[in-house]
Amino acid sequence: TDFPWYEKIKTVLQGKFKLQKFRSLQLETVNAAMAGKDIFLVMPTGGGKSLCYQLPAVCSDGFTLVICPLISLMEDQLMVLEQLGISAALLNASSSKEHVKWVHTEMLNRNSQLKLIYVTPEKIAKSKMFMSKLEKAYQAGCLARIAVDEVHCCSQWGHDFRPDYKSLGILKRQFPNAPLIGLTATATNHVLKDAQKILHVQKCITFTASFNRPNLYYEVRHKPSNNEDFIEDIVKIINGRYKGLSGIVYCFSQKDSEQVTMSLQKLGIKAGTYHANMDAKYKTKVHKGWATNQIQVVVATVAFGMGIDKPDVRFVIHHSMSKSMENYYQESGRAGRDDQKADCILYYGFGDIFRISSMVVMENVGQAKLYDMVSYCQNMNKCRRVLIAHHFDEVWDSANCNRMCDNCCRDN
> SS3 for 151-204, per residue?
HHHHCCCCCCCCHHHHHHHHHHHHCCCCCEEEEECCCCHHHHHHHHHHCCCCCC
- Per-residue pLDDT tens for 276-298? 788 777 877 888 888 889 999 99
Closest by Cα among 140, 79, 80 to 104: 140
How far is Cα of residue 117 from the mean position of the Cα atoms in its chain?
19
SS3 272: strand
Tens-digit pLDDT profile for residues 320-348: 999 889 889 989 999 998 889 999 999 99
| Spatial separation of the C-alpha atoms in residues 118 and 103, rounded to whole Å | 11
Helix (H) / strand (E) element for 112: namely: none
Contact between 146 and 65 under an 8 Å Cβ cutoff? The reply is yes
Residue pair 304/274 in contact (Cβ under 8 Å)? The answer is yes
pLDDT, position 373: 94
pLDDT (tens digit per residue) in 121-160: 999 999 999 999 999 999 999 999 999 999 999 988 877 8
Kindly report, residue by residue over 198-223, the tens digit of the pLDDT: 999 999 999 998 888 999 999 999 99
Residues recognised as catalytic: 49
pLDDT at residue 380 in the model: 95
What integer pLDDT is reported at residue 5 of this predicted model?
Answer: 94
pLDDT at residue number 83: 82
Give me the domains of the chain, ranges plus CATH numbers. Answer: 6-208 (3.40.50.300), 216-410 (3.40.50.300)
Confidence of residue 57 (pLDDT cuts 50, 70, 90): very high
DSSP β-ladder status, 246-250 and 297-300:
parallel
> For residue 126, which of 175, 94, 173, 92 has the smallest C-alpha distance?
92
